[in-house]
Structure formats: C-alpha cells, structure tokens
Amino acid sequence: MKNFNSLGFTLVMATASVMSSLSYAGAEDDPLLSYVAIDQLEKGLESDDPISFSFQAWVGYDMDKIWLKTSSEYQNSDDQGLEVQALYSHAVAPYWDMQMGVRRDIKPSPSRDWLVLGFQGLAPYFFDIDGAFFVGEKGQTSIRLSIEQEWLITQKLILTPEFEMNAYGKSDDELSMGAGLTDINAGLRLKYEITRKFAPYIGIDWSKKLGATADLARDNGDSISNSQFVIGVTAWF
C-alpha cells in the first residue's frame, strides 16, 4: 500500500505541474483544454443482457494531461463490474502518449488496486490503440490491449470494429481468474452521427474466456463465451 500512496503523491505533483505550466506558456500558445467522452453506453437486446458503459475524460495541455477512465457492466447485484483509472499522461510523439497512474477494481468483490503504466495513440491506418501493464498490491501483474478502427460508409454512417484482450501473470482464485491469457472480446458497431458529438448505434459483441480462466468458469457452471446484439449511444463534449 505504501507504493500506492507514493504514486498518489506523484500524481498530485504532476497535476500541480500541469496546472502551473500555464505561467510559462501564453494561453494562446498552450491553452488549458478538456475533453469528456461516453465511448459506449449500451444494453443487449435480450431482457437478461447486461447494461455496460465506457467513459473517459481528460484535462490539461498539449504535452501533459490528467486522465480519468472508467468502465462498468451491470447485470444484477451479484454480477457486476466497475473499474476506475486515474492517470497522468505525457506526449512522447505525434499522436502518442505515455500514461502512468492507479487503477481500482471496485466490483466484483473483493476490490483490487493496481499501478498502471500504459500508452495510447493513433497508429498508421488510423488504428486507435490503448495498451497498459498493471501491477497489483499483492504482486499480481496484468496486461491489456485494446484496438479499434472507424470505417466511413458515408459521412454520417460509420462502422467500428473493436478488439480487446487481457492476460494475468498469476491466478486470482477469489475472482475466478486464471494465469495466462484470460479473455478476448470483439465487437462490431454501426453508428449514425446525428451530430459530430452524438451518435446512436447498433452492433454485435462477442466475448470468450480462455485457458485456466475458462476452466474455472466451467467448474463453477458458468458459460465461457457470450454473444449479444446491442443498442447504444456514443457522445463527446
């Protein structure tokens, strides 16, 4: 826990550095900016399908920003997930940022705390990539990689394929998580931009548990794969 407190202090100092940098740069040259995005707010078409959302926001300058990322999935009081990340981000190349901070898995119980070292940016051919390495308070490690791309069918109709994978360095029996590659998720969503900042969409989402995690799910009588049609909205401000 001492390491997490130290990182929290580091984030506070980084925030102070970002906010104070305005005194060294004219507001016109490097203005303070902010961004808020609801990447996904969706519900499966079946009555027992979960509700899920993904949200991110940042405030800062051209080179340095403070990020907040959160995602959640709710099916019922016994089956829900909630994750929050607070990150300091520094631009290291055009369209690429390195990020560090903390992550807390609030649900499911028991909660887990992690240190985060990641990167986020736009690769050639307009692939949006978000990757991170996590170190838990009890020595756990985890890797996550997310990739998506937008295909313009028309100026307003956009098809978005998405892919995500997670891997863990060692098992977590309390959360039924095995070591190795734990799960993959793929989706395809078709959105219509009513405005540039707001778009409803329909799509299909598929996920599968793998390896030791799949074995634990089978032992618990749970499904190892799931697919669902979804309807939702995306927006930014």
pLDDT at 11: 52
CA atoms within 13 A on the CB side of 129: 16
177 is a domain residue:
yes
Q: Give me the tens of pLDDT residue by residue for the chain, a chain 237 residues long.
A: 555 545 455 554 555 454 455 444 445 688 999 999 999 999 999 988 999 999 999 999 999 999 999 999 998 877 799 999 999 999 999 999 999 999 999 999 999 999 999 999 999 999 999 999 999 988 899 999 999 999 999 999 999 999 999 999 999 989 999 999 999 999 999 999 999 999 999 999 999 999 999 999 999 999 999 999 999 999 999
Does 41 fall in a domain? Answer: yes
Q: Does residue 26 lie in a domain region?
A: no
Q: Does residue 196 sit within a domain?
A: yes
Taking CA atoms, 194 is separated from 55, 149, 155, 232, in Å, by: 20, 20, 11, 13
Question: CATH number, domain at 84?
Answer: 2.40.160.40
Cβ atoms 147, 162 nearer than 8 A? yes
Within-domain flag for 102: yes
| Domain boundaries, position 106 | 2-21+34-236
**27 assigned to some structural domain:** no
Task: Work out whether strand 141-149 and strand 79-93 pair parallel, antiparallel, or are unpaired.
Answer: unpaired
If one counts the domains in the chain, the total is 1
